Amino acid sequence: MKALQFSRNIPRYAAARVAAGFTPGGGASVGPLRLADLDPPTPPGPDWVR
């Protein structure tokens, strides 16, 4: 399952702000947001469906 993950990392956030000042969208590759491939979460109970 694909999911967006946000890491609370101040240096990455600052690098994204600086890179975005140079080119539009430049901070996307160095920012704190990334697309990750994760295992689907387990349902909390037997009555839950996906």
Q: Which of 27, 36, 29 is nearest to 3 (CA)?
A: 36
Can you tell me the distance from the alpha carbon of 50 to that of 1, in angstroms, rounded to the nearest whole number? 13
pTM score, two decimals?
Answer: 0.58
Can you tell me the distance from the alpha carbon of 19 to that of 35, in angstroms, rounded to the nearest whole number? 19
15 and 27 in contact (C-beta within 8 Å)? yes
* Chain mean position to CA 15: 15
The tens digit of pLDDT for each residue in 14-25 reads: 888 888 888 888
The tens digit of pLDDT for each residue in 1-50 reads: 999 999 898 988 888 888 888 888 888 888 888 899 999 888 998 888 87
Q: Which two tokens stand for residue 47?
A: 């009555």
